[in-house]
Amino acid sequence: MPFVNIKITRDGATAEQKARLIQGVTELLRDVLGKNPATTVVVIEEVDPDNWGIGGETVTERRKRKA
């Protein structure tokens, strides 16, 4: 019955990678806490780099600065 929300920047994660994340988190919750995979929900949110900030700046700015 766990609910997991994963937020990442939108950077071209493939459907196959997202499927692996979902499978991996579901197995982890089963292995560590005995949670039932059938009712484990995982939602991935992909966020525009303009809308993600760390260190007080957007990821867009940070990447420009580091390029």
Q: Give the nearest distance from C-beta 21 to a copy of itself in angstroms.
A: 5
The site map against a copy of itself for 43-62 (x = CB under 8 A) is xxxxx--xxxxxxxxxxxx-
* 35 vs 33: CA distance, rounded Å: 5
* 26 vs 40: CA distance, rounded Å: 6
Residues 35 and 29 sit within 8 Å (Cβ to Cβ): yes
The site map against a copy of itself for 1-40 (x = CB under 8 A) is xxxxxxxxx---x-x-xxxxxxxxxxxxx--xx-x-xxxx
**2 carries an active-site annotation:** yes
Residues 49 and 60 sit within 8 Å (Cβ to Cβ): yes
Residues that bind a copy of itself (CB under 8 A): 1-9, 13, 15, 17-29, 32-33, 35, 37-47, 50-61
